[in-house]
Amino acid sequence: MPELPEVEVTRLGIEPHIKQQTIKAVTVRQKQLRWPVSDALSQLEGQVIQGVRRRAKYLFIDTLAGSAIVHLGMSGSLRVLSQDEPPQKHDHVDLLLSNGMLLRYRDPRRFGAWLFSELPYEAHPLLSKLGPEPLSDEFNVDYLQAQLKGRTKAIKLALMDNHLVVGVGNIYANEALFMAGIDPRREAGRVSRKRLVVLVEKVKWVLTQAIARGGTSLQDFTQSDGKPGYFAQQLLVYGKAEEPCPSCGRPISKIVLGQRASFYCRACQS
């Protein structure tokens, strides 16, 4: 599933090509995605795109009439293509643009979403209860320590809770916890402040590096130009069960936490 870095890479890839372009038409070929594609998207026709924003894993294509809210789901992607590019089987939504290009949404598994909102995006029900952005100043050790106080759930599951902090998905939680030397199973409320300082730093570092390298391509994700994300080459523990730990050489362990695969070093993480 595309995580925060992949969504941000998508935003950075499409915005220069669609900003200040007029939406000439909205074409919906398949309405049945995670939620039915909003009929209100037709209100975008004739509107000028003011920009593309991201909140958590949601993208907002803003116009003065409202915003298209796009979620990539498990296999969704956005590409800027020539208008004469014929649609393929899994190409479900097009925005036809005044510069002769189109923004095309492809989603083989159809777990993504295209919604519409006239509200400021922060007020939308999907976003109103989300935690801070992990790369913002709001996500700091004081905030994290206060939020984790008394929590008995595993630190990895807490880190992936979007009410606590958005967008630290499975891949990047594994990597940040390894770099911070914290066992993913440790009770969140029992992680010391000293270790939380390091964890906040590593979360920000790994997400920043992933964005700089175009995200992580494991199965479905590609950048908006069709190229893979290259951060997969930098992964230290994710997907590396039984391979040598890059720090101590002992085999990386794999367990399941919250129905998600977790990779860690029993020697280096405690």
Residues annotated as catalytic (active site), given as ranges: 2-3, 57, 260
DSSP string, 245-257: PTTT-SBPEEEEE
What gap in Å lies between CA 249 and CA 107, rounded to an integer? 39
* Residues in the annotated binding site for DNA: 90, 109, 151
* Residues in the annotated binding site: 90, 109, 151
What gap in Å lies between CA 74 and CA 49, rounded to an integer? 26
Strand partners, 68: 61, 116
226 sits in which H/E element: none
> Could you tell me where the beta strands, DSSP code E, fall in the chain?
23-28, 51-55, 58-63, 66-71, 77-82, 91-97, 101-106, 113-117, 253-257, 260-264
5 sits in which H/E element: helix 4-18
What gap in Å lies between CA 116 and CA 173, rounded to an integer? 31
Q: What is the DSSP letter of 225?
A: T
What gap in Å lies between CA 247 and CA 48, rounded to an integer? 51
Quick check: helix, strand or coil at residue 229? coil
64 sits in which H/E element: none
Q: Where are the alpha helices (DSSP H) in 213-235?
A: none
